[in-house]
Amino acid sequence: MVLKRYKGNPILAPRKENPWESVMVYNCAAIYEDGKVHILYRAQGSKTGVSRLGYASSRDGFHIDERLDEPVFGPDPASDLESLGIEDPRLTRIGDTIYMNYSAYGTSMGMVFPLTRVQIGITSISVDDFLEKKWNWGDRYYPFYMVDDKNSFFFPEKVNGRYVFVHRIPPHMWIAYSDDLKTWDNQKILMSPEFDWEYFKIGGGAPPIKTEKGWILIYHGVDRSMHYRLGVALLDLEDPGRVIRRYDKPFLEAEADYEISGVVPNVTFSCGAVVIDDTLFVYYGGADTVICVATAKVKEVLHLLKA
């Protein structure tokens, strides 16, 4: 296993004094801007409570230098579509805008009996507002309205003149293309469960990392026992719908106590990764309870993928 756990894990944990994040702090987006890793993390005050997003940052990628006491993003109170929570954010900078993809957890409107539903939500914020912590999020929209869908992210740049989007309609990961970041076409299955450790379903992790050999794609797989592990693959630079190579073993799996024991045991789940000085920092939730980080040299990951 190439990824090395930070010895100081977990780097973020629940805070009892803040009711909105007193039980679960996990599944965070990460983006590197202005010499800092900016983290937007999912938090809950109870196992079945509403998820909101908190903010923290780190200058070295390991130690938390700042953490806000209040959520920076939460459900739209006027929308049934996300009334039950904002889950598992991913952040991607494209130009002067940071886009946030998230799972909108809510109810199906108009049903006689209550029915929950999860689908993709997307919003955005200017880079300047984000760095200044002016949480002026833009309009929210749902690209595949009322479709059971999640684990989505954008590629950080256009490929062959078009935006690229990855999402998960169970049990597959899908890829699609767009001219406006709102309407998507040429959709196809990118990857399906293939190995025993991802038997039940797979889904996207962090937005992809560009290298000269291809796009490094971190994803998660779920086995027959509902254990979550991380996987890694390499996508073609010019045709990201083509998988060059896929590592057949887990990239990271629950081994440490904080990954094995927690609100949901045996879970490693990533929504964010950054590169600092040729080192890949993978941020992940441990047992749906805490946030951790593991690292590897980019060249080591490419070697693992025989690139």
Distance CA 129, CA 257 (A): 38
Task: Write down all domains in the chain, each with its CATH number in brackets.
Answer: 4-304 (2.115.10.20)
With the C-alpha atoms ordered 99, 103, 104, 109, is the resulting torsion angle positive or negative? positive
Radius of gyration of the chain (CA): 18
Q: What is the pLDDT of residue 114?
A: 77
Considering the chain, what percentage of its residues have pLDDT values greater than 90?
Answer: 93
Whether residue 245 is predicted with pLDDT greater than 90 in this model: the reply is yes
pLDDT tens digits along 269-307:
999 999 999 999 999 999 999 999 999 999 999 999 997
From the CB of residue 144, how many other CB atoms can be counted at a distance below 10 Å?
16
1 pLDDT band, cuts 50/70/90, is low
Q: What's the chain's average pLDDT? A: 96
With the C-alpha atoms ordered 85, 89, 91, 92, is the resulting torsion angle positive or negative? negative
pTM of the model: 0.97
- Tell me if 12 sits within 8 A of 64, measured CB to CB: yes
Rama region for 11: left / alpha / beta (φ>0; ψ in -120 to 50; rest):
alpha
Considering the chain, what percentage of its residues have pLDDT values greater than 70?
Answer: 100
pLDDT tens digits along 83-114:
999 999 999 999 999 999 999 999 887 777 77
